[in-house]
Structures are given as C-alpha cells and as structure tokens.
Amino acid sequence: MYMDFGDTAFERMKIQPQIVSGGKRLGELQMIILILSIAIMLGVLAVCSKYSFKHKIESEMSSIHDKQTAEETKIISRRDLSGLPDPVVRWLESSGIINTPVPRMVLIRQTGRLRLKPEQKRWMHFRAHQVVGCISPSFSWCVETKLNPLFRIFGRDFFSDEKAALEMRLNSVFPVAKKEGCKYLHKSALQRFMMEMIWYPAFALDPRIEWEPINASKAKAILQCNSLRGEVVFEVDANGDLIKCFAERYYSSGSRPRKYCCVGAVLNTEILNDLRIPTEVEITWKLDEGNFNWFKCSVDSVTYL
C-alpha cells in the first residue's frame, strides 16, 4: 500500500510540470495570436488611411479640372500687353507667350529640398506635382518627403473657391499637421498662387489683375478674388528675366500667425515647353530673428493645357 501511494504521488509530481508547461505554451500562443491580430488591424487601417488620403488628393485635382471652363481658347497677341508697366512687358515678351494660347490648367513637377523650421540643420529631399487652375484660380500641390529609410511625409496644399487647406501625414497615415478654415491661410494661399505665376506667365494678362508700376524694374500685381485680395511685387532685369517676387504673407510657427515678407528668388531660367520660365527657385521668409531659407526647388516639367 505504501509503495502504491508513493508511486501515485511520484507520478503526480512528474505530471504537474507538464500541465504548467502546457499552460505556458498556450498563453504564449494566445499572445502571438493577439499580436498578429493587432498587426493585421493596424495594417488594414494604414492601407485604408493611405487610400483615403490619396483619394482626397485625386478628388481635389479632379474638382480643379472641372472648374476650368472657358467659352473659347484665346491666343495672346502683342496688343494684349499694351498698357502694362514696362517691367511686365519685358517679362512677358521674354517669356515667349506671344501667339500662344491662354492655358486653362498647368501641370508642374518639381524636385528639391526643404526645411520645416529655422533651427533645422538637415535639408529633406522632396518630389512634388501640382495642378493649377487658371480660369478659376486654384491649385493642388502633392508632396513626398523622405525622412529616413522607414518614414516619409506625404502632404497636400490645396486652394480652390477662395478656401485653402494644408495637411501632412507620416507615411500617408498618421497626421502630423493639419490646417483649414483659417482666413489667413486662404489669403496666404492666394498670394502663393500669384507668386507662382512665374511658371504660368499668361495669367499676368488676366483682367482680374491690376498692375501698378513701381520703378524701371518692379511692378505690383493686385488680384481681387471675391473676398480675398492678394498683392505681389515682381522684379525683372533688363533682359526681361524675372529676378524675384515677394509678398507680405502669413507665417505661423506655433503661435499666432504674423505677416512677414516672403521672397521667391530665381536662381535659373530656361525654356521649358516652349516658354522661358524660372526652373530653379528658392523661398525665404524674412523673420524677426533673421532670414529663413526653407524651400529650394527645380522644375522638372511643365505642361500647359
């Protein structure tokens, strides 16, 4: 009897670790399943979010296209330049727009470098494409910036119907910046549209623009777009090439936005798609603490539609 009891107790002692070990393995399996489930859910969420962001950009570009309607295509003549300030006439003649049609839309592809803050030392490379509406002033700018091998920032800068929106996402999924519905943002976007007229010079002849001469090399463009008003100064050299353009725009660094001078300096000018336009540009903010050169781009291609 003693030996039978001892044998039974001994067998129990051998079986107990197996039960504990089996329970441990079961817990590990459940944890693995949970982690895999979470990973799959996050992956699905990322794919859906990325698709939604891409679809938003495509919808905005499509909406710009749909609003660029005109009864007929106008061919620019030399007579259209009469009455403009001398610097503007030199610029438009040098650009080669005479005897070309007024575009309804412009497609621009860019590459370059940018910084997000004045204290940021490292420049980030980017590539971007932009759709511009010239009948109804508008643009949609889509940018991709590489932070490192794992992370990229995808962004959109949109302006249409006198409304602007800005959004940046990490890997197209996680929001890192978003602004919309701000009056200062709407006005700043209109002025950006006007400054980028250097890439679609035919818009300088738009009847909604009022030109004011300043001196032999400078002239101011004033555009009243319903409730928004934009003013940009263009500087042109003796040969008709643009030197720079600048405007008082709103700059925000986390606090309340303030107006600062924003300068677009032309570094190089070439002929692209039969027009002579700036192909290398850098943008600088004239801040209280000093100049913040934040954006340098090259225009890789431009298409006028």
Q: pTM of the full predicted structure?
A: 0.83
Nearest to 230 by CA among 272, 195, 187: 187
pLDDT band at 22 (very low <50, low <70, confident <90, very high): low
Lowest mean per-residue pLDDT among 56-60, 109-113, 248-252: 56-60
Nearest to 182 by CA among 251, 264, 260: 251
Phi, psi angles (nearest 5°) of residue 74: -95, 135
pLDDT in tens, 39-75: 777 666 666 666 677 777 888 888 898 888 876 889 9
pLDDT band at 170 (very low <50, low <70, confident <90, very high): confident
Lowest mean per-residue pLDDT among 5-14, 23-32, 65-74: 5-14
For range 17-42, the mean pLDDT: 69
Spatial CB neighbours of 249, under 8 Å, sequence gap ≥ 6: 187, 188, 191, 192, 259, 260, 261, 262
Q: How far is CA 202 from CA 67, 133, 210, 234, in A?
A: 18, 12, 14, 14
pLDDT band at 188 (very low <50, low <70, confident <90, very high): very high
CA distance 121 to 82: 47
Nearest to 229 by CA among 205, 207, 201, 209: 209
Lowest mean per-residue pLDDT among 137-146, 171-180, 199-208, 264-273: 171-180
Residue tagged 């042109």 (tokens): 236
Task: Please give the residue that has the higher pLDDT: either 19 or 50.
Answer: 50
Q: Is the pLDDT of residue 87 over 50?
A: yes
The per-residue pLDDT for 71 is 67
For range 198-226, the mean pLDDT: 97
The per-residue pLDDT for 151 is 85
Task: Please give the residue that has the higher pLDDT: either 1 or 265.
Answer: 265
Q: Is the pLDDT of residue 17 over 50?
A: no
